[in-house]
Amino acid sequence: MTFGNMILLWIHGYREQTLVELLGFLPLASGLGAYAVLSKEPSPPWEWVAGLFGFMITLGLFLYELRGLQRAAALEQAGRELETEMGIANGQFREQPEPYLRGFVDPRGAAWVIYPTVQAGWLYLIAVGRLGTLLAAVLAIVLAVGIGWWMARQHSAARIDLRTSAADA
């Protein structure tokens, strides 16, 4: 194992720790931000701007997270290959347990639950002043699920394209 490969594997472990911290902090910070806006009486006329800002920041973090998950998967594959080359039969990369629910119970599944949920909260903040509580909540949930579903399809299509390109090369 080269020193560079050891550094890459160490970074991968550090990234997972950072992911856990971010996934815990994002809903807390978003909830506090939404509460700060919604607790004002009367509702400020700029609440939809705060909601749009929060939604876009969360979307950007989600896209960044998806890229990070893609890189983590590549590093795990490199780790499995290194363990194979070194003859390590039960290393941390080759002997990982299969995640439950067809891969949903892992960092990717957590991201696909947390980010759309936070996005729904920001979408609610955008709509509540104009549509009322119930309709804004329903609209926010439908839009967040729709955006998450669309992004999951795009992500899967891109992964299939990468596999096809790699197989052709």
What does the pLDDT average to over 56-61? 86
Domains of the chain, by residue range, sit at 3-168
CA distance 63 to 36: 26
Residue 120 · residue 126 · CB < 8 Å: no
Q: Environment class of residue 59 by beta-carbon count within 10 Å: exposed (0-12), middle (13-18) or buried (19+)?
A: middle
Q: Is the pLDDT of residue 166 over 90?
A: no
What is the percent of the chain with per-residue pLDDT over 70, rounded to a whole number? Answer: 74
Mean pLDDT of the chain: 76
pTM for this model (two decimals): 0.68
Summarize pLDDT for 104-163 with one digit per residue, the tens.
777 777 888 888 888 888 888 888 888 888 998 999 899 888 888 887 777 666 665 555
The sign of the CA dihedral 137, 142, 145, 151 is negative
CA distance 70 to 120: 24
Confidence (pLDDT) at 134: 92
CA distance 113 to 62: 11
Q: Is the pLDDT of residue 35 over 80?
A: no
